[in-house]
Amino acid sequence: MKPIFFIGFMGVGKTTIGKRIGDVLNLPVIDMDHYIENKERKTIKDIFHQHGESYFRDLETRVLLELESEEAIITTGGGVVERKRNRDILGQNGSVFHLTCSFDALWERLEGDEDRPLVQKNSKDKLSALFERRFPLYEEGSSVTIQTDEKSVDEVVQAILPYIKS
């Protein structure tokens, strides 16, 4: 079995849904950002600050290649789709779920979140523009899109499971 990837904008529920799917399928869950932090022994914020975004995107590509044969649930960072190579790697896997919701629902989840530097340093309008720009990139890198608007974690999991079992 190949890994099951979850992609999407920050706040759509990748980590929460990934953990629940991992529990249901009895599979380990690998959060790519945490994986990179452990590997680099630095926070994502520090990696960006010390080495820049290009270096971080290179790390993401290497990690995708390392993890593409893992039998696991893999939750990605929201910007993994910024690189065409990363979208290609994801696209070669049959189980890539793009979790999404309306930007208004997303903003309700993100507003005031002090753990997300992108939220802290960008206005609602700038985040909305980033969300809109990335949406087609998520679609390109995924095999299935799942809406999370007004759905419980269990409802989202139930929407995903038939795609995994088939």
Binding residues for Mg(2+): 15
As annotated, the binding site includes: 11-16, 33, 57, 78, 116, 134
Retrieve residue 4's tokens.
């099951």
Retrieve residue 152's tokens.
């419980």
As annotated, the binding site for ATP includes: 11-16, 116
Cα–Cα distance between 156 and 39 in angstroms, integer? Answer: 31
36: CB partners within 8 A, 6+ apart: 44, 47, 56, 59, 60, 63
As annotated, the binding site for substrate includes: 33, 57, 78, 134
Alpha helices in 68-123 (DSSP H): 84-91, 103-110, 117-121
